[in-house]
A and B are shown apart, each in its own frame.
Chain A
Amino acid sequence: MERKNFLKSLIIGAASTSVLAAACKKDDTASTTSTGSSSASTPPSSSNGCAVAPTETEGPFPTHTPASYVRSDITDGRTGYKLTVKIIILSNSNSCNPLANALVDIWHCDKDGNYSEYGGSGMQATDYTSVHFLRGRQTTDTSGLVTYTSIFPGWYSGRSTHIHVHVYNSSGTSLKVTQIAFPEGSGTALAQVNGYSKGLTGYTYNASDNVFSDSYATEIAAVTGNTTDGFVLTMSISV
Chain B
Amino acid sequence: MGAQDKEAEILQGTLELLILRTLATGEKHGYEVADWIHTASADALDVEEGALYPALHRLELRGLLAAQWDVSANNRRAKYYRLTPSGRKRLREATESWRRASSAINRVLEAI
Q: Is chain B a partner of chain A in the same complex?
A: no
